[in-house]
Amino acid sequence: VNIVRDIGTMEHPIEGSFGKLGNHAEIRYEDVRVPADSLLGDEGAGFLIAQHRLGPGRIHHCMRWLGVSSRAFDMLCERSLYREARGTPLAEKQTIQNWIADSAAQMHAARLMTLHAAWKMDAEGASAARREISLIKFYGATVMHDVVDRALQIHGALGYSTDLPLEAMYRYARAARFYDGPDEVHRETVARQILRGYQAPPDDIPTEHVPTRREAARRRFADILEAVTAND
Ligand SMILES: Cc1cc2nc3c(=O)[nH]c(=O)nc-3n(C[C@H](O)[C@H](O)[C@H](O)COP(=O)(O)OP(=O)(O)OC[C@H]3O[C@@H](n4cnc5c(N)ncnc54)[C@H](O)[C@@H]3O)c2cc1C
């Protein structure tokens, strides 16, 4: 096993930190053989084990992201109260009020979705909760990203500096949108599962096509219509 080089990332931009900051590295495996008594689980079952780990792993990410979002949200609100622009606190600007309201709504939705996914995992197991886990994986990552971004924006240059934790939170939030599966892949999983519950309509006429439905209703209730018209 050869550690070729330490790779700086947005999370740990300092090179040469391998083993110190939990950084990432390029590792080359050449002719590596694992003794049979070191085998974890069955031979060839590695992918399955990784998949089993990913469901519970993702929900823990989502819980941590709620904490990060909440901390950034507190900073956003605090800053709005003491920083003034054009004679009034930022809290009185409609854009900032929108940020606060949108962040609160998104965080509330993410918290309930996380709780629901965790409840379903407890009640029915991780594989039954695949859709709920995928939903909160991409939604929770985006909520954290958006809330941290707004908190950073309202702090201006101070938010961009290392005097506040926001720049580190922003780098952390950016990675969340692709580790343990990029947003696109989770959206794909969710959409595929949902579409299994639908089918194309016969003759490509939409189920809700009004003229077709009206005609079907006329045929179905012809007797009643006839009776009503006769009374007229
Ligand atoms: C900080 C960090 C920590 C990580 N930790 C771990 C770890 O502990 N264990 C581990 O195994 N891995 C880990 N990873 C790896 C991570 O899971 C992968 O980076 C991630 O799954 C994306 O794979 P990739 O980098 O090969 O990108 P690619 O697969 O090349 O994807 C790149 C982009 O292509 C697009 N894309 C990919 N697939 C589709 C699709 N089906 N439809 C539409 N667009 C698509 C998306 O925009 C995606 O972001 C970590 C990554 C980071 C950044």
pLDDT computed for residue 207 by the predictor: 96
Whose CA is closest to 69, among 141, 159, 153, 135? 141
CA distances from 124 to 49, 72, 117, 120 (A): 19, 33, 10, 6
178 lines ligand 1 (CB under 6 A): yes
On whether the CB atoms of residues 65 and 117 are closer than 8 A, the answer is no
Residues sharing a CB contact under 8 Å with residue 162, sequence separation 6 or more, in sequence order: 168
pLDDT computed for residue 153 by the predictor: 98
pLDDT computed for residue 170 by the predictor: 96
Q: What is the DSSP string of 60-118?
A: HHHHHHHHHHHHHHHHHHHHHHH-EETTEEGGGSHHHHHHHHHHHHHHHHHHHHHHHHH
pLDDT computed for residue 20 by the predictor: 55
CA distance 63 to 89: 32
CA distance 159 to 41: 47
pLDDT computed for residue 142 by the predictor: 97
181 lines ligand 1 (CB under 6 A): yes
pLDDT computed for residue 8 by the predictor: 78
pLDDT tens digit sequence for 64-96: 999 999 999 999 999 999 999 999 999 999 999
pLDDT computed for residue 22 by the predictor: 57
For the chain, residues with pLDDT lower than 50 are: 21
78 lines ligand 1 (CB under 6 A): no
pLDDT computed for residue 200 by the predictor: 97
pLDDT computed for residue 203 by the predictor: 93
Nearest CA to ligand 1 atom 49: 182
Mutate to test the pocket of ligand 1, among 9, 184, 187 (most ligand atoms within 8 A of CB): 184
On whether the CB atoms of residues 6 and 17 are closer than 8 A, the answer is yes
185 lines ligand 1 (CB under 6 A): yes
Q: Tell me, in angstroms, the distance from the centre of ligand 1 to residue 58's CA.
A: 14
CA distance 167 to 62: 20
